[in-house]
Amino acid sequence: MATKVSITSYIEGLLGETSITVPDQTIMAGMEDILRKLETYLQQALADFWVETAVVSNPVTLQNPLGAIELYCGNDRAIRRSSKQHAANKMSLMYDRGDTAYYYIVGSKLYIEPYVPARNTYTVRGIAYAVSNGSITWPDKYIYPLALFAACDYLYSRYSRELESIASDVTTFPSLTLAFTNAETRLSNDDVELASAELAKLRTQIDAYAARTQIEGARVQRIQMRVELAQQLLSRYMAMKARYQEYFGFTQEGEK
């Protein structure tokens, strides 16, 4: 299985940078996005995520309660019910005097009835993925797309922070107003080309302001450099996102 260290190293290699911090929630979001895509377009790949876990308590917490789950009592597959009452009701056609192991799920908890650990061994089989304290439940085979997802998130975060810096710099220029928020709004709506156009418009507005006010060239250059950096980050984000989409067989137009 992969580790957070190996994934972080992969991300740094993709970006050509070092000392990158990857939050657990970013990795978890990437895991969920990849599994959704595989479930939709490449279901046979889900077998790589199938994990068998021994049950040591009743109830047991599931890592992926919404996914495909099976419970085995020894070598026999247990029967899933909608609730305890449904199968324990003696008037129900499903009532079998408690001779057959069955299970039901409430939230993220799986309950076993009857639970007799002294007589039986229990295992849960299903799609599992998790990240906690550097420990990751994730196949090595899928480190690459997970690293791509995290790299996209990293570049997007840096792009957003750069826009915040531009907004802060603008306040030091009297009477200069820029619609810089459009550059982030466009990207949030996945309009990458329009986001790029918004950044180009910012540079034009700053140049026009400098020419009109004859303001100090060095100050204008600093804010222009920030806009240029935002453009570079956006370009890198677009390229990384394209690689992520291509991994699943998407074209640039988003078609399969």
The per-residue pLDDT string of the chain (256 residues; one tens digit each, 9 = 90 and over) reads 567 888 899 999 999 998 898 999 999 999 999 999 998 888 888 888 888 889 989 998 887 776 778 899 988 888 888 877 655 556 655 555 555 778 999 988 999 988 888 888 999 988 888 887 778 889 888 999 999 999 999 998 998 888 777 777 766 666 666 665 566 665 555 556 667 777 777 777 777 766 666 665 666 777 778 888 888 888 899 899 999 999 988 754 444 4
Report pLDDT for 102. 85
End-to-end CA distance of the chain: 29
Q: How many CA atoms lie within 13 A of 5 on its CB side?
A: 1
Using alpha carbons, select from 12, 56, 37, 1 the residue that is nearest to residue 150. Answer: 12
Paired residues of 122 in beta bridges? 73
Report pLDDT for 16. 93
Which amino acid, 6? S
Report pLDDT for 191. 57
Both tokens of 42, joined, read 């490449």
111: exposed, middle or buried (Cβ count in 10 Å: 0-12, 13-18, 19+): middle
Question: Do residues 110 and 69 make contact, with C-beta atoms less than 8 angstroms apart?
Answer: yes
